[in-house]
Amino acid sequence: MSDINLFTPLALGPLTLPNRLAMAPLTRNRSTPEGVPHALNVEYYRQRAGAGLLITEATCIAPEAVGYPLTPGIWSDAQVAGWRAVTEAVHQEGGRIVCQLWHVGRISHPSLQPNGQLPVAPSAIAPVGDAITFQGPQPFVTPRALETSELPGIVAQYRHAAAQAKAAGFDGIEVHAANGYLIDEFLRDGSNQRTDAYGGDVDNRARLLLEVLDAVCPVWGADRVGVRLSPIQPFNDMRDSDPKCTFSRVVELLNRFGLAYLHLTEMGKDAPGAAGPHFDPLELRDVWRGVLMTNAGYDRDRANALLAAGRADLVAFGVPFIANPDLPARYLAGAPLNAPDPATFYGGDAKGYTDYPFMDAA
């Protein structure tokens, strides 16, 4: 055991984090219909700038990457301007913020796609469940399998988004390769049944992720790029025949980049085996050679115990940050937390978004 806890500073590439509490990426569905962050979003992130690291809500890299109403993008100049207001506010408060880059893949609906086209995926396999649209829940459609010739274009969209995020003043980027979205759909064999160079064995299924990193790391420098993985997360109808083998190899392949961090979500532990043969994602600590961030519904005491045991270097908090904009200060003081209101998690206005009281006000 060590003396490391949530309030031990951490060097993260060129950044120095004053604490080890990251704010997890949290979709809140409060951008404009055009995917532009606005004043309400600026205030939301400004309030939470005390986090060691803020990770934005998942941010779409292109119009074809959209899968939910009122989620932000980073492909247009208007979106960059909106995000620049966010990053300036966070920096004025002394914070650090990275942009999570997102392509939803098959987790979309024609009504959310340009010209009503089909969503794309590695294979034409429809997920079980409903898409969330402006017209309400609608059953997922069978996506169109991407042609091999189209994949360089997807990589180029990530490269463009990375450059846009840099123009917006972020401190880095996180490549979203988790939770059943496009890159994760390529990684897991339950959603990837391709027979070309992007399907079959794990090295092939990881090819798109590696090509994306080859594209975005020169834009930023690898020490300002993170990756998020979800090895046992069944969300969005995801599964793999051997998650431990798959993700051990993926992490091994990621080691060559010298990334800022690897962000694992342990979500799925409450449904062991739903996403394939169960294993503890933190076993990947033995494979990964860099900074490890984890996320799994931790509270202060469990997070401190994890850090002291050396099983992770950073802990990302989701729901606690929704209801407690000053979460680090509350944890440091041992103060009680505000109770979250799940009815206001997705969509709406300031209620349940920027109106949670700070510790002093409470």
- Per-residue pLDDT 10s for the chain (362 aa) are 789 999 999 999 999 999 999 999 999 999 999 999 999 999 999 999 999 999 999 999 999 999 999 999 999 999 999 999 999 999 999 999 999 999 999 999 999 999 999 999 999 999 999 999 999 999 999 999 999 999 999 999 999 999 999 999 999 999 999 999 999 999 999 999 999 999 999 999 999 999 999 999 999 999 999 999 999 999 999 999 999 999 999 999 999 999 999 999 999 999 999 999 999 999 999 999 999 999 999 999 999 999 999 999 999 999 999 999 999 999 999 999 999 999 999 999 999 999 999 998 55
What string of DSSP letters covers 148-197? GGGHHHHHHHHHHHHHHHHHTT-SEEEEE--TTSHHHHHHSTTT----ST
| pLDDT, position 330 | 97
Provide the 3-class DSSP secondary structure of residue 261: strand
Could you give the CA distance from residue 304 to residue 66 in angstroms, rounded to a whole number?
Answer: 36
Could you give the CA distance from residue 143 to residue 267 in angstroms, rounded to a whole number?
Answer: 25
Establish whether 331 is a catalytic residue.
no
Paired sense of beta strands 136-139 and 130-133, if any = antiparallel
What lies within 8 Å, CB to CB, of 299 at 6+ separation is 320
- Of the CA atoms within 13 Å of residue 275, those in its CB half-sphere come to 31
Can you list the domains of the chain with their CATH numbers?
10-344 (3.20.20.70)
Assess contact for 16 and 57: CB atoms under 8 A: no
Catalytic residue among 181, 261, 298, 356, which?
A: 181
Could you give the CA distance from residue 47 to residue 64 in angstroms, rounded to a whole number?
Answer: 31
Sign of the torsion formed by the C-alpha atoms of 243, 246, 252 and 258: negative
Paired sense of beta strands 261-265 and 292-295, if any = parallel
| pLDDT, position 361 | 58
Provide the 3-class DSSP secondary structure of residue 264: strand
| pLDDT, position 182 | 99
Could you give the CA distance from residue 311 to residue 291 in angstroms, rounded to a whole number?
Answer: 11
| pLDDT, position 140 | 98
Name residue 18's amino acid: P
From residue 43, alpha-carbon distances to 57, 124, 145, 234, 351 in Å are: 14, 41, 40, 33, 13
Which region holds residue 153: left if phi is over 0, alpha if psi is between -120 and 50, else beta?
alpha
Using only the alpha carbons of the chain, give its radius of gyration.
Answer: 19
Beta-strand runs (E) in 206-258: 225-229
